[in-house]
Amino acid sequence: MPLPVLVVDDSSMSRKLTIRAFPGDWDVEVSQASGGQEALDAIERGLGHVVFLDLTMPGMSGFDVLAEIRRRGLDCFAVVVSADVQPKAEEQARQLGAMAFVRKPVKADALHGVLREYGFL
């Protein structure tokens, strides 16, 4: 069964760039969300076992989404994909439950490294 993967970003180009960086042979079912609320709904419906999450989004930020995932006790593996590359941002995201941090612009190598590290490949 393909792995449900959710890509969350307010920019559609950015979502496409992330998806394009996925390994070609990765067996996944990809869903997309353009905002925090939409993302949480999708995760509740089981569409995001792995979630690629942007941090700077209008309204609900990626930090807010992480906090909400934890509060609702949702089970997912969150990978932050962010242009905010300050160490503090990464630290804060990890404290809120993010498992990994990938910098924008997304490099396929970096993304594959994360997936390999956590046994998704």
Please identify which residue in 105, 108, 117, 118 interacts with other proteins, judged by CB under 8 A: 105
Specify the length of the chain in residues. 121
How far apart are the C-alpha atoms of 53 and 33, rounded to whole Å?
9
Q: Which residues, numbered 53-92, are part of the site for other proteins (CB under 8 A)?
A: 56-58, 82-86, 88-89
Q: Is the dihedral of CA 45, 8, 18, 88 positive or negative?
A: negative
Residue found under tokens 């393909």: 2
Residue closer to other proteins by CB (options 21, 76) is: 21
Residue closer to other proteins by CB (options 72, 107) is: 107
Local structure of 31: helix, strand or coil: strand
Q: Contact region for other proteins (CB under 8 A) — 13-21, 22-30, 43-51, 112-120?
A: 13-21
Report how many residues bind other proteins under the rule CB under 8 A. Answer: 20
φ, ψ at 50 (rounded to 5°) = -115, 130
CB atoms near residue 14 (< 10 Å)? 19
Q: Smallest distance, Å, CB 21 to other proteins?
A: 11
Site string for other proteins, 27-56 (x = CB under 8 A): -----------------------------x
Q: Is the dihedral of CA 93, 9, 76, 25 positive or negative?
A: negative
Q: Where do contacts with other proteins occur on this chain (CB under 8 A)?
A: 10-14, 16-17, 20, 56-58, 82-86, 88-89, 104-105
